[in-house]
Amino acid sequence: MMENDNLPESSEKLVEQRGIISNQLAEDGIINQSLGNDHIGVEILSVKPEKLYEAISALKKYGFNYLQCQGGYDEGPGKCLVSFYHLISLGDICDIKEIKEIRVKVFLNRDSDLSIPSLYKIFKGSDWQERETYDMYGINFADHPNPKRLLMPEDWRGWPLRKDYIQPDFYELQDAF
């Protein structure tokens, strides 16, 4: 089990026993932390922001060849912002045959650097998903090809899905002409 020094506290219970994929990543020298399985048995693990690209690259080599979903959530005021990735294996190319899904989470302290690597070079489908996460939570994706707001106007202030967000009294729309 890796040291918990740089991972912010999470509301999720940390698990002492590693899962199959967590063990494989650890054997390959990629530090991660097992978070157990979800309610349907999908293994969840956590990596530090600086290890995300390396971990996802390894998972793709293991056969998790499709990024089904990337998103974010806020654990609450004063707690972590989280970027999560749900990867699946399409077809029978997965080296570990019985595992077809994996979820990876990156916990970010809201009072520190909210920058993590973009996965655009590995999965082109992460483009708009990362832009939406940036737009709603303020998590920056380094090396993203088009890091602009997706849903909110470019001059919008704040991150609307953060639990500590204070909605402005009004928003002045500019003339379209």
**Residue 12: is its pLDDT beyond 50?**
no
- What pLDDT was estimated at residue 154? 87
**Ordered domains of the chain (ranges, CATH):** 20-142 (3.30.460.80)
The pTM of the full predicted model, rounded to 2 decimals, is 0.82
Within 10 Å of residue 83's Cβ, how many Cβ atoms? Answer: 25
- What pLDDT was estimated at residue 155? 86
CB 104 within 8 A of CB 85: yes
Please give the DSSP secondary-structure letter assigned to residue 169: S
- What pLDDT was estimated at residue 138? 95
Within 10 Å of residue 142's Cβ, how many Cβ atoms? Answer: 11
List all residues 6 or more positions away from 44 whose beta carbon is below 8 Å from its beta carbon.
12, 34, 35, 36, 37, 38, 102, 103, 104, 105
